[in-house]
Amino acid sequence: MLIEWADPALDDLEGIRDYIGKDSPYYARQFIERIFDAAEALLEQPKMGRPVPEANHEDVRELIFQGYRIIYRARPDRVQVITVIHGSRNLAAKEVKPWDVV
């Protein structure tokens, strides 16, 4: 089992790091490391996150970490992280859903 970070998810993390880094580069790096650590738990229990309500796909799940949604696909051989977004963002209003792109 392995974790695969899709390019859009890595772009999301870069944006989060840049935003937090405006106030504190140290805390920005620390926060991103903690997101990676949270996702590592999926290696042992890939179905620990709940299904994403907006997705209507059993394999598209999310892990909540400090107000952020780590949205991923649980595959038999890997966990594919497809996006990391703030919980206040409205995915239902987006025309193109992250799980449709990756």
pLDDT score at 102: 64
Long-range contacts made by residues 47-55, C-beta under 8 angstroms, separation at least 24? 47/74, 52/91, 52/99, 54/91, 54/92, 54/97, 55/97, 55/99
95 pLDDT above the threshold of 80:
no
Q: How many CA atoms lie within 13 A of 79 on its CB side?
A: 25
Domain count, the chain: 1
Contact residues for 81 (Cβ-Cβ < 8 A; gap 6+): 3, 4, 5, 6, 9, 39, 70, 71, 72
pLDDT score at 40: 94
Q: 25 near 101, Cβ under 8 Å?
A: no
Note the pTM of the prediction, 2 decimals: 0.90
Contact residues for 15 (Cβ-Cβ < 8 A; gap 6+): none
User: Can you give the residue range of the structural domain that contains 34?
Assistant: 2-101
Q: In what order do the strands lie in the sheet with 50-51?
A: 2-5, 78-86, 68-74, 60-65, 50-51
Q: Average pLDDT of 75-98?
A: 86
pLDDT digits (tens, 9 = 90+) for 12-64: 999 999 999 999 999 999 999 999 999 999 999 998 999 998 888 888 999 99
Q: Tokens 């919980």 appear where? A: 87
CATH number at 40 reads: 3.30.2310.20
